[in-house]
Amino acid sequence: MLRGMELQYIKMTVSGVWVLIAVVIAIVTHPAWPGLIALAAVGVLPPLALLLLWNEPTQTISESIHEARR
């Protein structure tokens, strides 16, 4: 199972790559203002949702028992 820091690292890495791809697309395509606003929304909102909504899984009962026995 993923630990908290591993999950945080994965989330930050995926978000960073997503934003980097959006920036590269913006540089390559030179969109007009409406396209730039749409690209900014697509580049920022999914990583923001990923960081805020993807939580660490809760501990199962068996994991709690195993931890208590240690």
pLDDT tens for each residue of 39-64: 999 999 999 999 999 887 787 888 88
pTM of the model: 0.74
Residue 4: the pLDDT is 63
pLDDT tens-digit series, residues 2-34: 566 788 899 999 999 999 999 999 999 999 999
Domain ranges of the chain: 4-69
Burial class (CB in 10 A: 0-12, 13-18, 19+), 62: exposed
**Beta carbons of 2 and 10 less than 8 angstroms apart:** yes
